[in-house]
Structure 1
Amino acid sequence: MDSHISKVKALYKGHSASETSNKESENGICQECGNLNGFGDDWSTWCTPCNSKHFIDEFPSWASGNNNVDELIRKTQINTSHYESTFEWIPYEQFTDIKFISKGGFGQVFKATWSNGPILYWDREKKRWFRWPRVPVALKVLFNSQNISSDFLSEITSHLKLYRSSNTCSEIVRCHGISQNPESKEYIMVLEYCARGDLGKYLAENFDDLTWSKCLDHLLDIARGLNTIHSEGLMHRDIHSGNLLIDVSYAAIGDLGLCRPANSSVSKKDVYGVMPYMAPELLRGKPFTQASDIYSFGIIMWELSSGHRPFPNIPHNFNLALKICDGFRPEIVEGTPECYKELMQKCWHENPIKRPNIANIVREIEKWLNDILEGDDVWSKADSSRNTIKKLPKIKIHSEAVYKSRLLPTVNNELFVKRSIVTHEVIIKRSRESCNELSCNHSQASCDEFRISNNNY
């Protein structure tokens, strides 16, 4: 599994040893305070008390223009425990070679080169941060964020602790900091750049070359990332293939806490996301839980098995929401291994309580990958079936199939009950017709009662 450290080594392996000899500390001991470092590896060591002081000393040298943004950055910097969790205000003029990538429901994404680059360690001799220069980054420009809400920033704050909890969490897209477009005044999240784009784009371009082993590698990365999120008591709330990113050799989860309007507080009743990935309880207006993320993960499993986005040829409207609440799911692809199918169906089970937790999912996928290494022919046979699937014609995407996060309609419980009553009435009518045709000897009341009690609506 690659990490940000290995990527740094790959990008900057040309630097000489002398350039990295002035680290703030050596051999696990901070040379400024004499205490043990909280973190260390071949490329950096980190003393949180000393580096917190360095950050504090630099507070007067920058300002975002928004007190809430400044407070978010300062609090994060004071608690930084290793270089991969650094978070800072990044002046817009440090970005060059800016190129448009895509547009989503709440922002648009650009690729850029960050001229200064991220912090690696404190250089004691030069009394400044040593950085890796000219790093490629993704810039997520947040629509209508000129008056960014404190509620939105609080959501970002809760997710930033993920980087503090894991030294090399490569399955979560790193957030380097915040910037601002000087013309539009819209705020920008500066994110790790993943070279192969989002999962939907990646599958469209590479599905024909993917084996089950490679798909399971990506699925395991996503599961591990989600496990990191859930182990911190957090939820993603908007897992779909547009928020899962592929770098050269691994997959990572992105857009944590960013899938909602940046300029307003959001009602707990509002549901934002991509409808085909949203759990039925959410579409009924129920609270979000970690089990809701598991449902979305199940849909991602289907996407990796089919090479298609879910429900591409129908409108993503209120009728689809009703059908999902009724149990409508993507059709399982022929040749999918039975163990994979069973786990996928458990993940998208209508009852959240019956969905597996992410830690067990991680263990199951690890077992499958081990089975492949040991030559289990279940997966080699599945690869043969997969070759047949690859020859099928591509599905045309409906003009009303929306794969961007947005405010979704919810199924009113009262409406759902009324719809169920109408369904019962249709069943009763049909049962009466059947009784008449068969000259049934039972009373009409008992026949109606039997039909209703034996139809689970």
Structure 2
Amino acid sequence: MEQLTNHKHKSDILLSGKNITITLSQPEQNTEKLFKNKKCNKCKRERTCDENEKICHTCFKIKTMLKSSGNKVIDDFIIYTQINNDSRRGKLEFVPYEQFKNIKFIARGGFSKIYKATWVDGPIKNWDDIKHKDRNIIRDKNYTVVLKELNKSDNITSEELNELKIFYQIYSDDSANNVLNKTFISKYFGITQDPDTKDIMIIMRYYSSGDLIHYINKNFYKINWEKKLDRLDDIIRGLESLHSLGIIHRDLHSGNILFSNLSTYIGDFGISKSAIESTDNNEIYGIIPYIAPEIFLERKYSEASDIYSFGMIMWEFMTGRRPFWDLNHDAYLIIDICDFLRPPIVTNAPDGYIDLMKECWHSDPEKRPTAAEINTRIWKMRKIEKENFKNNNPTKIIKSPDIGPVTVENNSGAIYKSRSLSLIIQSAISSRSLSVISSSSSRSQSAISLKSSRSRSTIFSRSSRSQSTNFEADKRKSKGNLLVVEGSNRNGYFTKEIEFDINISSNQPSNNGEQYVTKEIDLDINVL
């Protein structure tokens, strides 16, 4: 708890901005005498200072070289990232809007609009040299970025910079457990401002392969299980980085998983929170299929809530489809999820994969594995799969109508954008409570009538069992027909599992009567 409290204290400093009083201005000519290891009048750190300004070289460069936004909230935060940590990682800057060209609208989300653009000067490549007054800054020119314009952010508050604060907290932490894992967190560069709307735009790295939705839609049958496990390993290491700092993502879904040619990254920390952070805002945001059932039942977010979401991402890698793609995302689905509904197990996977996935979406958050435990188990699966691949015995991806990218036309009820869900959740919980009361009443009435009906039930029991046996036989009469089985299982939920019942005497072809329409899935805007 002591470590988490320190991180909370760090967030409080970021929110206040009271310790920073640097004024950004244009470069000035100075002739100075150097003083070694003096306390800087601005950042109050023991650094190399000059006689004229009485400030360190880092603060001097910030004052003379970096641009001001004209917004104290933004400038205070930007300056804090520059001077508070000697690490080159996590530093941000304000970039004038005219620095961007070829601005192209990509998509619209619940809370933002996404653009692709070219940053003319580009990000700073040698942040380490900012503390040396005589060294020039080198930039990566004509750099492709994403601009995320926050809706109605013209009067932005410190709290609304949460996404960048989370990024800074992750990237400025150089603890041994975080040094490698944080490389699987998406990269942020700073802030700009739309000159027309005055809305704030967050500057982020552009990932050429898009989000998980697009990656799977394009590559599902091209990527083997070794590559899938590689990508999942990246994701869980990024999540482990968050959790090691006491940060809960709270909105982990396929639209926030980003791909480059070589690696995979977790993005979008707009509603991420510290595990110990208290808030008066009880609003729930997200995408229903990825939200853990305990959140619908008005319990607090925890690291285990993120693990549930990761389990859904595992299912997505396995099937090529988003969870509950064929259902309306409404109060009824929330009720079903709270009553243990999970996506169907419709295909094969490497040994241990399905068991791990089911553990991740266990109804009891205490029984879900941690990110570190998942990392270890996926690493072992990946090692085995690599050996299998070398021996020409990899886990095969079996083609069937039940896997692969698919969308159902006119299914507007399946909503894969983060949105406010509190009213829907309230409706679902109220309906579920009434259902429980009604069910309890029915059981009481059944108990009263059971005694009087027991003798009659004995008379008809043999006949009923015979009819039931015939009914079950009828359901299984065709070779290869898919049978949907629902029932309670040991993991505390029920799922629909596709089973094949083979009737040797049947020659009828396999056909489940379902029609699928396959097309490219639209970009999930909350990706970035």
Interval containing the TM-score (normalised by the shorter chain): 0.7 to 0.9
Match of 2:63 in 1: 59
Q: CA deviation at 1:429?
A: 5.7
8 Å CA contact 1:284–1:413 kept in 2: the answer is yes
Structure 1: 5+ residue stretches without partners: 1-31, 36-47, 443-455
Judged with a 3 Å threshold, the aligned counterparts in structure 2 of structure 1 residues 290 and 404 are, in CA distance, closer, same or farther, namely same
Q: CA deviation at 1:439?
A: 2.3
Judged with a 3 Å threshold, the aligned counterparts in structure 2 of structure 1 residues 83 and 440 are, in CA distance, closer, same or farther, namely farther
Match of 1:207 in 2: 220
8 Å CA contact 2:121–2:139 kept in 1: the answer is yes
- The AA in structure 1 aligned to 2:285 is Y
- Are 1:94 and 2:99 matched, yes or no? yes
**SS of residue in 2 equivalent to 1:110:** strand
C-alpha separation between the residues in 1 aligned to 2:150 and 2:111? Answer: 6
Match of 1:43 in 2: none
Q: CA deviation at 1:54?
A: 2.6
Q: CA deviation at 1:258?
A: 5.2
C-alpha separation between the residues in 2 aligned to 1:151 and 1:118? Answer: 25
Taking only aligned residues, the RMSD between alpha carbons, in angstroms, comes to: 3.3
- Are 1:110 and 2:118 matched, yes or no? no
8 Å CA contact 2:220–2:405 kept in 1: the answer is no
C-alpha separation between the residues in 2 aligned to 1:242 and 1:392? Answer: 17
C-alpha separation between the residues in 1 aligned to 2:312 and 2:403? Answer: 22
Within the candidate set 120, 127, 130, 2:125 is matched to 120
Q: CA deviation at 1:394?
A: 2.8
Structure 2: 5+ residue stretches without partners: 1-33, 38-45, 50-55, 459-491, 494-528
Match of 1:160 in 2: 168
Within the candidate set 55, 72, 76, 1:71 is matched to 76
8 Å CA contact 1:100–1:109 kept in 2: the answer is yes
Aligned ranges for residues 326-341 of structure 1 at < 5 Å? 326-341=339-354
Within the candidate set 410, 433, 436, 2:425 is matched to 410
Match of 1:143 in 2: 151
Match of 1:11 in 2: none
8 Å CA contact 1:274–1:406 kept in 2: the answer is yes
Within the candidate set 290, 294, 306, 1:277 is matched to 290
When structure 1 is superposed on structure 2, of 166-175 and 408-417 the one drifting more is: 408-417
Judged with a 3 Å threshold, the aligned counterparts in structure 2 of structure 1 residues 203 and 189 are, in CA distance, closer, same or farther, namely same
8 Å CA contact 1:240–1:277 kept in 2: the answer is yes
Q: CA deviation at 1:441?
A: 9.1
Deviations 1:176-226 (A, max 9, x none): 001111111110110111001111121112112121111111111100100
- The AA in structure 2 aligned to 1:86 is K
Judged with a 3 Å threshold, the aligned counterparts in structure 2 of structure 1 residues 426 and 49 are, in CA distance, closer, same or farther, namely farther
Aligned ranges for residues 233-244 of structure 1 at < 5 Å? 233-244=246-257
C-alpha separation between the residues in 1 aligned to 2:240 and 2:63? Answer: 34
C-alpha separation between the residues in 1 aligned to 2:345 and 2:391? Answer: 17
- The AA in structure 2 aligned to 1:417 is S
8 Å CA contact 1:94–1:116 kept in 2: the answer is yes
Match of 1:360 in 2: 373
Match of 1:184 in 2: 197
8 Å CA contact 2:251–2:271 kept in 1: the answer is no
8 Å CA contact 1:90–1:177 kept in 2: the answer is yes
When structure 1 is superposed on structure 2, of 331-340 and 407-416 the one drifting more is: 407-416
C-alpha separation between the residues in 1 aligned to 2:244 and 2:314? Answer: 21
8 Å CA contact 1:271–1:285 kept in 2: the answer is no
Q: CA deviation at 1:315?
A: 1.2
Q: CA deviation at 1:126?
A: 6.0
**SS of residue in 2 equivalent to 1:209:** coil
Deviations 1:63-99 (A, max 9, x none): 2232111111111111244434221111111111112
8 Å CA contact 2:69–2:94 kept in 1: the answer is yes
**SS of residue in 2 equivalent to 1:208:** coil
When structure 1 is superposed on structure 2, of 313-322 and 122-131 the one drifting more is: 122-131
8 Å CA contact 2:250–2:301 kept in 1: the answer is yes
Q: CA deviation at 1:49?
A: 5.1
Judged with a 3 Å threshold, the aligned counterparts in structure 2 of structure 1 residues 120 and 394 are, in CA distance, closer, same or farther, namely closer
- Are 1:394 and 2:406 matched, yes or no? yes
Judged with a 3 Å threshold, the aligned counterparts in structure 2 of structure 1 residues 389 and 337 are, in CA distance, closer, same or farther, namely farther
8 Å CA contact 1:139–1:191 kept in 2: the answer is yes
Judged with a 3 Å threshold, the aligned counterparts in structure 2 of structure 1 residues 59 and 268 are, in CA distance, closer, same or farther, namely same
When structure 1 is superposed on structure 2, of 289-298 and 159-168 the one drifting more is: 159-168
8 Å CA contact 2:321–2:404 kept in 1: the answer is no
- The AA in structure 2 aligned to 1:334 is T
Q: CA deviation at 1:393?
A: 8.1
Aligned ranges for residues 246-325 of structure 1 at < 5 Å? 246-257=259-270, 267-325=280-338
- The AA in structure 2 aligned to 1:410 is I
C-alpha separation between the residues in 1 aligned to 2:76 and 2:133? Answer: 29
Match of 2:243 in 1: 230
8 Å CA contact 2:147–2:201 kept in 1: the answer is yes
- The structure with the largest alpha-carbon Rg is 2
C-alpha separation between the residues in 2 aligned to 1:255 and 1:236? Answer: 8
C-alpha separation between the residues in 1 aligned to 2:342 and 2:59? Answer: 50
- The AA in structure 1 aligned to 2:138 is F
8 Å CA contact 2:117–2:146 kept in 1: the answer is yes
C-alpha separation between the residues in 2 aligned to 1:310 and 1:378? Answer: 33
Identity of aligned residues (%): 35
Judged with a 3 Å threshold, the aligned counterparts in structure 2 of structure 1 residues 296 and 392 are, in CA distance, closer, same or farther, namely closer
8 Å CA contact 2:286–2:420 kept in 1: the answer is yes
8 Å CA contact 2:220–2:404 kept in 1: the answer is no
Judged with a 3 Å threshold, the aligned counterparts in structure 2 of structure 1 residues 171 and 192 are, in CA distance, closer, same or farther, namely same
C-alpha separation between the residues in 2 aligned to 1:50 and 1:374? Answer: 54
8 Å CA contact 1:259–1:405 kept in 2: the answer is no
Judged with a 3 Å threshold, the aligned counterparts in structure 2 of structure 1 residues 384 and 254 are, in CA distance, closer, same or farther, namely closer
Q: How many residues align?
A: 397
8 Å CA contact 1:117–1:131 kept in 2: the answer is yes
C-alpha separation between the residues in 2 aligned to 1:392 and 1:162? Answer: 35
Judged with a 3 Å threshold, the aligned counterparts in structure 2 of structure 1 residues 119 and 423 are, in CA distance, closer, same or farther, namely same
- Are 1:129 and 2:137 matched, yes or no? yes
- The AA in structure 1 aligned to 2:408 is K
